[in-house]
Amino acid sequence: MSKNIKSTKGLPLVTLSYISENAVLLEWPEKVCAVQHQHIMHCQQQIGLALKSTVIDSIASYASLIIYYKFDQITHDSLNTLLLNVVQKSHLSNENLTLSKQTSETEIEIPVYYGEEAGWDIQTVAQQTQLTCAEVIQYHTQTTYRAYALGFTPGFCYLGELVPRLQLARKSSPRLSVPKGAVAIAEQQTAVYPNTSPGGWHIIGQTPLDMYSVKNNEFESTISVGQSVKFVSITQAEFLSLGGELIKEYV
C-alpha cells in the first residue's frame, strides 16, 4: 500500500509505503540536498519520540526513511495519521532550523595522505578535471561534507556534496580490490572504504583512521548520519605514525 503525503504549504511530495508487516518506508524526491536530509532526520527524531517503545529501529538515507515498528502495538490507520502529522509539522519546524543545529554530533576530521602512491587515481582525476594534483587536494579538503547514509559495507558512509570541479562518473571498470582506508570520490559523493573490498570509485588518498569499531559485540560507525566531516591533508610520515599501512597498487 502506498500513500502520498503532500502539504499545501510547500512540502515536497513524500510517499509512504509498507514494505513488510513491521516496516514502513517514507520517500522524498530523489536528490542530494542537505536541507531535505535535515527534514528527514528531524522526522526520524520526532517519530522516535512519538512512538517511543513501538519503534524497533529506523534508518535515514539521502531521500528516504525506514521505520521498523511493533505491528501489534499500532494500527495502519493510526500510524498513517501520526506519520502525516510528523512530516508536516517537522517541515514547518525545519524551516526555522540551521544545518549546524541538526545534529548534536561534533564535526569529525579525517586525516588523509594524498601522495601518488596512496592516491592511486589522483593523477587521472587531475587530468580529467584539468586540475593539478595540489588543486584536487585543495578542493577535496576545503569542503565540509554531510554524512547522508551508511551502506554498501559496514562503516561505509556516503558524504556529500563534492564540489562540481571534482565530480566524475564512477570508473568504467571497478577494481576487484580497494584497500582499507582508501579515500575516494564519485559523482557528487566522497567516502572512505572501511575494509578491503571491490570498488568503482576514484581513489585519491588513504587514511589511517578506522571507519568502525566493535566493542563487546557492539558495532559503532566512526561517522554518524547527519554528522559533518572534514578531510585534512597529512604527510606520509604522519600517516605512518598514526598507524597507517600504505597500500600501493601494482599493475
CATH architecture of 2-101: 2-Layer Sandwich (3.30)
Instruction: Report pLDDT for 218.
Output: 84
Q: Which residues contact 22 (CB under 8 A, 6 or more apart)?
A: 56, 68, 69, 70, 71
Q: How far is CA 107 from CA 11, 96, 143, in A?
A: 29, 22, 12
Domain ranges of the chain: 2-101, 108-241
Q: What percentage of the chain has pLDDT greater than the value 90? A: 75
User: Does residue 163 register a pLDDT over 90?
Assistant: yes
Q: How confident is the model at residue 16 (pLDDT cuts 50, 70, 90)?
A: very high
User: What's the pLDDT tens digit per position in 74-119?
Assistant: 999 999 999 988 988 876 655 545 444 444 457 999 999 999 999 9
Measured over the CA atoms of residue 131, residue 203, residue 199 and residue 165, the dihedral's sign is negative
* H helical segments located in the chain: 34-51, 76-94, 122-129, 133-142, 236-241
Instruction: Report pLDDT for 105.
Output: 53
CATH number assigned to the domain covering 108-241: 2.40.100.10
> And the C-alpha cell for 199?
570498488
Backbone angles phi, psi at 201, to 5 degrees: -90, 165
Tally the residues of the chain. 251
User: What's the pLDDT tens digit per position in 17-32?
Assistant: 999 999 999 999 998 8
pTM equals 0.84
